[in-house]
Structure 1
C-alpha cells in the first residue's frame, strides 16, 4: 500500500505513462489480494447450518467477478485510448484476465479431473481391502478449488452390514485426506450390472 501511494504521487508529479502503468499494476495487485483475503475469511466463517457443504466456491467466484471487470476495463481502454502504451497494456490485461475467467469457470461448473488423477483414485480404492470385488464408478469433479469424488465399490452380497460399512468408510477417509479433495462419497453395492443410480449420464472409469 505504501508503494502504491508512492507511485500515485510519482504519477501525478511526473505524468509519465510508464509510471502510470506501473501504478495501475500495483492497484490490480491490491484489489486481487483483497479479494483473496475476503474470500478466505468468508470460507473460515461459514455457517454450517446455512452452508452445509461449506463456501469453497467463494474464492473462484470472487476471482471470476474481478477478472470479468478487469477484462471489460481493458476493452474500454482499447476503445478510448490512442496511445500505444495504454493499448498494449489493455491487450495484456484482457488476455490475462480472460484466461483467469476461463480457469475459474471450469472450477465452478464441475469439470472432471484428469484421467491420470482418476486412475490414482481408482488404484487407491481397489487396493484398499481384499474384499473389494469391483470398482464400478470413479468420478472426481471440481467444486470450487477442490474436487468432489464419487466412488461405487462392489462387495460380496453376503457380507454383514457392519463389516461393509467399515470397509466403505475407510476409503472415504483416505480420499478426503488428499489435499485436492473436499468431499468423498463412497457407495457400496453387491453387483455392477444394474443401470446407473442417477438419471444423467456421467463419464466413468
Structure 2
C-alpha cells in the first residue's frame, strides 16, 4: 500500500516521511563508522548510528501499538479511556495543588517566624519564596478549577490551554520576586547592615519544611502533567532555598556575616534562572511549535494505511497551541467517488488520529488532485 501511493507532502525538509525499520542484521556498519577519521569522530559516528537504530526500533513499536489500538472495535474504547484518563489527570492536579497550597501556607508563617527570629537575609529569601509559592499554588489551582468548570457554550473546545498559561504566569512572578530579593541583599552588603542569628527554632523550621517538600516533590514528578511538574519545580526550588538559607544563616552567624546575604543572592539567582527557563520552555507550546518528528511519522503511517481509496497525502501540519497537538491533513481521493464515501473515509481517519493521546484535534480536508498535478 505504502509503495503504491504518491506522496506530495508540503513539509519542511526536516519533517519525516514514513520510515521503515532499517535492517539490523547482516549489515556491516564498519564502512559507515570507520574510515580516514580520528578516534573521536569514530566514536561520535558509532553513537549516532546506535541512536538511529534505537529511534527506529521505538518508532516501529509505536506503529504496532497504534495499529492495534486504533483498530475498528478498539477505537471507541480508546476514546473512552482517553477521556477517563484526562478527567483523572485533572482531579489529581487539583489534589496536588490543594496539598501544595496547604503546605505553602504553613511554611509561609513558619518562614515568617524564622525570619523575625534570625534577621537573616537568606532566611528572608526563603520567606519570600514561600510567599510566591502560595501565589503560584493559587494560580495553578484556579486554572485547574476553571478547566473543570468550563462553559462549553462560551468555550466550545474547552480551556485546556489555561494550564500552560498558568505555568508561564507563575514562572514570571517567581523570577521577578527573586530578582528584587537579589537587589535587597546587595544593598545590605553595601550598607553593612548584616547581623544573622541561626537559632534552634529557625533551624528546625527550615529542616522540617525541606523534608515535607521532598515528599511532595516526588509525588508531583511522578504524576508528570505540566501543572504537576510546575509544582514539583516549585518544591525543588524550595528545598534548595531552605538548605542554602540554613547554611548561609549558620555560617553568617558563627563565621562570616557576609555569607548570609551572599547565600540569599545565590538562592535567588538560581530560583530566578530556573523559573525564567521554565517559562521560556513552555512558550513555544502555545505559539504553534511543530510537533516532534516521531509524532508526525505516526500520523503519516495511520493516514497512508487508512484506506486504499486515498490516492496521496497532499499536505500535513502537526503543531502545538497547547500541551497536545493540532493536526491539519489534506488527503487526495478520486474525484468520481461519491460525497458519502469521501466523507466517511475522512471522518473515520479523523477519529483515528484524534484517538492518539498526543492529539487534541484533527482537521481532514479532502481534495481531488495534488497541487501541481494537471
State TM-score, norm by structure 2.
Answer: 0.48
- C-alpha distance in structure 2 between counterparts of 1:89 and 1:98, whole Å: 14
Contact conserved, 2:111 with 2:126, CA < 8 A, in 1?
yes
Deviations 1:6-43, CA, capped at 9 Å, x for gaps:
44434433445565454444444443333222112111
- 8 Å Cα contact 1:128/1:171 also seen in 2: yes
- In structure 1, what is the equivalent of residue 183 of structure 2? 79
Evaluate the alpha carbon distance shift between residue 22 and residue 73 of structure 1 in structure 2; reply closer, same or farther with a 3 A threshold: closer
Residue 176 of structure 1 corresponds to 354
178-187 vs 42-51, which moves further: 42-51
* Structure 2 gap ranges (5+): 1-101, 187-260
For residues 180 and 110 of structure 2, the distance between their equivalents in structure 1, rounded to whole angstroms, comes to 26
For residue 165 of structure 1, the aligned residue among 340, 343, 353 is 343
| Correspondent of 1:135 among 313, 324, 332 | 313
Q: Distance in 2 between matches of 1:187 and 1:111?
A: 21
User: Contact conserved, 1:135 with 1:154, CA < 8 A, in 2?
Assistant: yes
Residues 121 and 138 in structure 1, CA contact (< 8 A), matched pair in contact too? no
Please tell me whether the aligned partners of residues 132 and 173 of structure 2 are also in contact (alpha carbons under 8 angstroms).
Answer: no
Cross-structure match for 1:99: 277
- Is 1:48 the counterpart of 2:152 in the alignment? yes
CA gap 1:77/1:7 in 2 versus in 1, 3 angstroms: closer
| RCO higher in structure (CA 8 A, sep ≥6) | 2
1:135-188 alpha-carbon deviations (Å, 9 max, x no partner): 111211112222111111111221111111111011211111122211110111
Take 2:121 and 2:177, find their aligned partners in 1: how far apart are those partners? 17
Q: 1:69 aligns with which of 173, 180, 185?
A: 173
CA 180–100 in structure 1, closer or farther in 2 if over 3 Å, else same: same
How far apart in 2 are the matches of 1:34 and 1:84? Answer: 30
Q: Which runs of 5+ in 1 are unaligned?
A: 196-205
Residue pair 2:128, 2:177 contacting (<8 A) in 1 also: no
Task: Give yes or no for contact 2:175–2:272 (8 Å, CA) kept in 1.
Answer: yes
Q: Which has the higher helix share?
A: 2
Pairwise CA RMSD: 2.2
SS at match of 1:133: strand
Q: Paired residues, what number?
A: 195
Larger radius of gyration: 2
